[in-house]
Chain A
Amino acid sequence: MYALADCFRLKRQNGSDMDDNKIKNRIEHAVFICIILVLGLFTQNTYYLQIMTFIGINTLLALGLNMLIGYAGQISLGHAAFYGIGAYTTAILSGTFGISPWLSLLCAIGVAVLIAFVVGLPTLRLSGYYLGMGTLGFGMIVNILFREWSSVTGGSSGFVGIPVLEAGKVSFMSGQNYFFLVWGVVLGAILMCRRILASRMGRALRSIHDGEKASLAVGVNTHYLKLQIFMFSASLGAVAGFLYAHFVLFISPESFGFMVSVKMVTMVVIGGMASVWGALLGASLLTLLPEVLHGFAEYEMIVFGLILMVVMIFMPQGLTRGFLDMYEKARKKRQ
């Protein structure tokens, strides 16, 4: 609620363009927090809570990938690998070695960031098709590793025995607590992304998307910047993997395969490329679709494929952005 109070204070001070934006952001965050609180406190149905928790986890994935695809303009077709690395790292450390899950969260983030660095250093020099192929191959290798290194990962039958999260007296066994944990993290991630985008780094990032050669020429170290954002999105993926692992308590390689990477890209294409809220929208839609449509699983691939093709053919700036642009144009015409 601090946000609302803050924005009124600001409003009294002055009303220049920049501050208007700030006020808008605060209101958005306040509304977001209210919605989370209402949904979390008043939803009794555990199934609904579970779905909403999954939406939160997927939003984290979409947020991270959106920074890379939507803002930096770089493709990754193997992002599920970082999701899996987060999940497996915490599973192995806390499940097999009995380390505190919170400590293993740090390790999971560390491992993902390190791998992102090693993989990104040469790959992000590539562009377009080669980056796509490189990340796709990377995702495949990681998935094969999950499957074949069975003495550690449990192989294709999966990993059992992931401990439930606890913090002091609070157990995250209950659906409601976990819901708030996940959405708290999502809120934190949204704030982080927005801060990054509004900063010097974010401007440089968007400038790469608009025109890489000019951004090079004004002195942006584009390769380093892409690498940083790749590492950031990998760390969000790892956090999502951590939350996923301690939520479902059982993980297997299928949850982190190529299809999951494609699903992440689809979320970004639907929602992202416009704003962080777009990522939320994309994640919600793709999480809800299979739940709402009976027998969707059969047609899941066809639907995702069609979404990707149609949106990219007609609205290469992304679905949400595309609609916003159309709306803007219509409004301008009316004026």
Chain B
Amino acid sequence: MQEIIQYLFSGITTGAIYAVIAVGLSMLYSSTELINFAHGEFVMIGAMSMVTFWVHMALPLPVAIGCTLALGCALGLLFERFAIRTARNPQPIVLVIITVGASIFLRGTGMIVWGKDPFSVPPFSNHESLEIFGAALLPQSIWIVAAALLLAGGIHFFLKRTLTGKAMVASAVNQKAAWLSGIPPERMAVLAFAISTGCGAVAGIFIAPVTMSSYDMGTILGLKGFCAAMIGGLGSLWGAFAGGILLGVLESLGAGLISSGLKDAIAFILLLLILYVRPGGLFSAKEAKRF
């Protein structure tokens, strides 16, 4: 019992990180209908930048976080401008290969910049851990979950309540109509990219003190984020969030109760199951082909 609660705690913590990754992917999808296979690399960049800014350069924590965030958003901007918008033939298969290329490129760059060794980042706050039902709850976990909720809430507010956010959603639903009513779809796409990769960087900031960070951590995290987003229904913000938490908990339980080696397989099996069982159901709105 106590063990299970312990697994739950750690599951919810990693789940919150997956949730942030998934929210980034999902919001990009809902505003540009694109899935960024390089999303995970922005998580890696976020985590590794924390190592640089906070551990190596010893900047104050808020400044380090700010710099990391700015870097994530800026790279997203550049990525959209130079790799996505210039694509001559923006079909899904082409964009898949472009973003996979970007992912490998970023990973390779990460390896050159930070080397191959993993780094660790000390916890942001070193308070005593709390005891709940005999299980230890790190204060870090609490604020990671809280910050993840805050972030998702912020994006929700932005998309549903602000003019820019609404315009962004509108231009995804119908580019031409949006353009006719004066919304510049290109600027919306840039903005969506920056926010999305910013989310990736935030996830990286969260994950840095939780696990070891290295240049090759991104791909798997990106896939897990995608899995979470699919669980909740691609394009749905809170669905993605819930999917992330669920995935984290399942993984943590699976690793603890079955085998830690198969931990990573859980997400992928789940992903395949969803793709297989409900290939249309989760995104049925996109299914009807127009002839």
A and B in contact, CB less than 8 Å: yes
- The answer to whether A290 has its CB under 8 Å from any CB of chain B is no
**A interface, over-half SS:** helix
Q: A301 and B87: CB pair below 8 A?
A: no
B188-235 contacts to A, CB under 8 A, are 219-220, 223, 226-227, 230
Among listed A33-41, A82-90, A229-237, A311-319, interface-contacting one:
A311-319
A59–B269 Cα distance when bound, in Å, is 31
Specify which of A130, A259, A265, A303 is in contact with B275 (CB 8 Å cutoff).
A130
Write the B72-113 contact mask toward A (1 if CB under 8 angstroms, else 0). Answer: 000000000001001111011111111011111111110110
Q: B100 and A265: CB pair below 8 A?
A: yes
CB distance from A119 to the nearest CB of B (A): 8
Q: A128 and B93: CB pair below 8 A?
A: yes
Q: B101 and A306: CB pair below 8 A?
A: yes
CB distance from B163 to the nearest CB of A (A): 29
Given known A137-B268, A137-B271, A313-B88, contact A298–B102 (CB-CB < 8 A): no
- The answer to whether A213 has its CB under 8 Å from any CB of chain B is yes
A140-157 contacts to B, CB under 8 A, are 140-141, 144-145, 147-148
Q: B272 and A309: CB pair below 8 A?
A: no
- The answer to whether B259 has its CB under 8 Å from any CB of chain A is yes
CB distance from A155 to the nearest CB of B (A): 9
CB distance from A248 to the nearest CB of B (A): 24
Q: Which residue of B lies closest to A314 (CB)?
A: B88
* Chain B residue contacts of A301, Cβ below 8 A: 104-105, 107-108, 111
Q: B97 and A75: CB pair below 8 A?
A: yes
- The answer to whether A73 has its CB under 8 Å from any CB of chain B is yes
- The answer to whether A126 has its CB under 8 Å from any CB of chain B is yes
Q: A309 and B105: CB pair below 8 A?
A: yes
A283-320 contacts to B, CB under 8 A, are 298-309, 312-316
- The answer to whether A277 has its CB under 8 Å from any CB of chain B is no
Indicate the size class of the contact surface on chain A.
35 or more
Q: B268 and A302: CB pair below 8 A?
A: no
Q: B279 and A122: CB pair below 8 A?
A: yes
Q: B219 and A258: CB pair below 8 A?
A: yes
- The answer to whether B289 has its CB under 8 Å from any CB of chain A is yes
A123–B274 Cα distance when bound, in Å, is 11
Q: B92 and A133: CB pair below 8 A?
A: no
A105-146 contacts to B, CB under 8 A, are 122-123, 125-130, 132-134, 136-138, 140-141, 144-145
* Chain B residue contacts of A129, Cβ below 8 A: 34-35, 92, 95-96
- The answer to whether B3 has its CB under 8 Å from any CB of chain A is no
CB distance from B144 to the nearest CB of A (A): 25
- The answer to whether B265 has its CB under 8 Å from any CB of chain A is yes
Q: A316 and B91: CB pair below 8 A?
A: yes
- The answer to whether B262 has its CB under 8 Å from any CB of chain A is yes
**B interface, over-half SS:** helix
Given known A299-B108, A306-B105, contact A137–B93 (CB-CB < 8 A): no
CB distance from A264 to the nearest CB of B (A): 12
A259–B219 Cα distance when bound, in Å, is 10
A223–B37 Cα distance when bound, in Å, is 25
Q: A312 and B268: CB pair below 8 A?
A: no
* Chain A residue contacts of B97, Cβ below 8 A: 75, 265, 269, 308, 312
* Chain B residue contacts of A144, Cβ below 8 A: 261-262, 264-265, 268
Number of interface residues of B (CB under 8 A): 48
* Chain A residue contacts of B268, Cβ below 8 A: 137-138, 140-141, 144
CB distance from A223 to the nearest CB of B (A): 12
- The answer to whether A91 has its CB under 8 Å from any CB of chain B is no
Q: B272 and A141: CB pair below 8 A?
A: yes
- The answer to whether A63 has its CB under 8 Å from any CB of chain B is no
CB distance from A73 to the nearest CB of B (A): 6
* Chain B residue contacts of A259, Cβ below 8 A: 104
Given known A129-B96, A316-B94, contact A308–B101 (CB-CB < 8 A): yes
Write the B47-63 contact mask toward A (1 if CB under 8 angstroms, else 0). Answer: 00000000000000000
Q: By CB atoms of chain B within 10 A, which of A125, A141, A213 has the most?
A: A141
A300–B108 Cα distance when bound, in Å, is 7
- The answer to whether A208 has its CB under 8 Å from any CB of chain B is no
Specify which of A128, A134, A302 is in contact with B92 (CB 8 Å cutoff).
A128
Given known A138-B272, A144-B262, A148-B259, contact A312–B223 (CB-CB < 8 A): no
Specify which of A74, A298, A316 is in contact with B89 (CB 8 Å cutoff).
A316
CB distance from A233 to the nearest CB of B (A): 15
A301–B219 Cα distance when bound, in Å, is 13
CB distance from B267 to the nearest CB of A (A): 8
- Given contacts A122-B275, A304-B101, could you give 17 more A-B pairs where the C-beta distance is less than 8 Å? A126-B279, A128-B92, A128-B96, A129-B95, A130-B279, A136-B37, A137-B272, A140-B268, A141-B265, A148-B262, A262-B104, A265-B97, A299-B112, A305-B103, A305-B104, A315-B88, A316-B87
Q: Can you pick out 10 interface pairs between chain A and chain B where the beta carbons lie within 8 Å of each other?
A: A73-B93, A130-B279, A132-B100, A133-B271, A137-B272, A145-B265, A298-B112, A304-B104, A313-B86, A316-B89
